[in-house]
Amino acid sequence: MPRARTKSKMQPVAASRPTMGKRGAAQRAAPIELYYWPTPNGWKISIMLEECGLPYVVRPVDISKGEQFTPHFLAISPNNRIPAIVDPKGPGGRPISVFESGAILQYLGRKTGKFYPRGERARVAVEEWLFWQVGGLGPMAGQARHFRQYAPETVGYAIARYTDEVNRLFGVMNARLAEHEFLAGRYSIADMASVGWIRLAEKLGQDLTQFPHLKRWFETVRAREAVRRAFAIRIEAASKVDVRDPNVRAILFGQRAR
C-alpha cells in the first residue's frame, strides 16, 4: 500500500509499486509526476497510473493552503486545479505537462494503449461517457457537495437543484449499467473518471441501494487491485484539513480572476 510523506511543498511523497516489465529499469528512472490532492478528480489519475503499472511520484498540491496558485504549479495547470501530470518521456522523448483530468486520462490511454480503445466505435463510447463525467457528473456533484456541506448558509433551492441533478445522473448511469458491464462496454478510462464521485454517494445525498446496477458496477470497480491501491494513497496533511477554518475557506471559496 503506498504510504505518503508530507515533508515539504510539492515534493514527491508517494510512489506506486507497479509491476515492472522488461523496460522496468528505464521506466523507473523517469517516473511521471502526478500533481495531486486526494479528491475525486485526483483519484481518476492515480487509478489510471496504477491500472497501467506506470511508475509515478505523487507531488501533493495542498489546495487548502493555496499551493494551486504557485507559479510553478500554474505553469503546469493554468486553471489552478489538480490533477496535472508531467511526463518526462512525452512525445518525441521530451517532457510534456497535461492538465484537466479528461485530457490526462486520454493522454495516458494513448501513451499506453490501455483502457482507451483505438477502434472508432469503441473509442466514441468511451469518449461519450468520459465527457459525460467531466461535463456533467463531476461539476453537478461538486456543486451538490458544496451546497450540502460547505456553504456558510443553508440554501434549500441550491441543495435541491444539485441533489436532484446528481440523482438524475445516477439514474442515467444505472440505466446504462443495466445493459452494459461497464460504462463503455469494457472497463475503460470512463469508469475511472466516475468511480470517485460514486464513492461519495452518501455525501451527495444519494442512496446507492436505489441504483442496483450502479451499485454492482461500483463494487466491481472499487474491488480492482489498482483502484484499491489508488484509494489507499494517504496524504497526511489532507486528513487534517478543516473546511470550517476561515483561512481555508478564503482560499477555496469565492475565487475570482487574478
In angstroms, what is the minimal distance from the CB of 26 to ligand GSH?
29
Q: How far apart are alpha carbons 77 and 83 in whole angstroms?
A: 8
Q: Which residue in this structure is represented by grid cell 463503455? A: 184
In angstroms, what is the minimal distance from the CB of 152 to ligand GSH?
16
Nearest to 106, CA basis, from 53, 45, 32: 45
**DSSP 8-state class, residue 234:** -
In angstroms, what is the minimal distance from the CB of 55 to ligand GSH?
22
Part of the chain binding ligand GSH (CB under 6 A), chosen from 12-20, 99-107, 204-212, 228-236: 99-107
Q: What is the largest CA-CA distance in the chain?
A: 57
The number of residues that bind ligand GSH (CB under 6 A) is 14
> What's the start-to-end Cα distance of the chain, in Å?
39
Nearest to 190, CA basis, from 182, 198, 180: 182
Among 34, 58, 82, 227, binds ligand GSH (CB under 6 A): 82
177 in contact with ligand GSH (CB under 6 A): no
Instruction: Give, as ranges, the residues between 133 and 162 that touch ligand GSH (CB under 6 A).
Output: 134
Contact mark string toward ligand GSH, 189..228, x via CB under 6 A = ----------------------------------------
Instruction: Give, as ranges, the residues between 107 and 126 that touch ligand GSH (CB under 6 A).
Output: none
252 in contact with ligand GSH (CB under 6 A): yes
Q: Positive or negative, the Cα torsion across 110, 142, 194, 12?
A: positive
- Across the beta sheet with 96-99, what order do the strands follow? 14-15, 56-60, 32-36, 84-87, 96-99
Instruction: Give, as ranges, the residues between 34 and 73 that touch ligand GSH (CB under 6 A).
Output: 39-41, 63, 68
Among 59, 81, 145, 148, binds ligand GSH (CB under 6 A): 81
All 3 cell numbers of residue 82?
489538480
Length of the chain (residues): 258
Part of the chain binding ligand GSH (CB under 6 A), chosen from 10-18, 97-105, 110-118, 155-163: 97-105
Buried-state track 46-55, b at ≥16 Cβ within 10 A, e below 16: bbbbbbbbbb
In angstroms, what is the minimal distance from the CB of 231 to ligand GSH?
15
* Footprint on this chain of ligand GSH (rule: CB under 6 A): 39-41, 63, 68, 80-83, 100-102, 134, 252
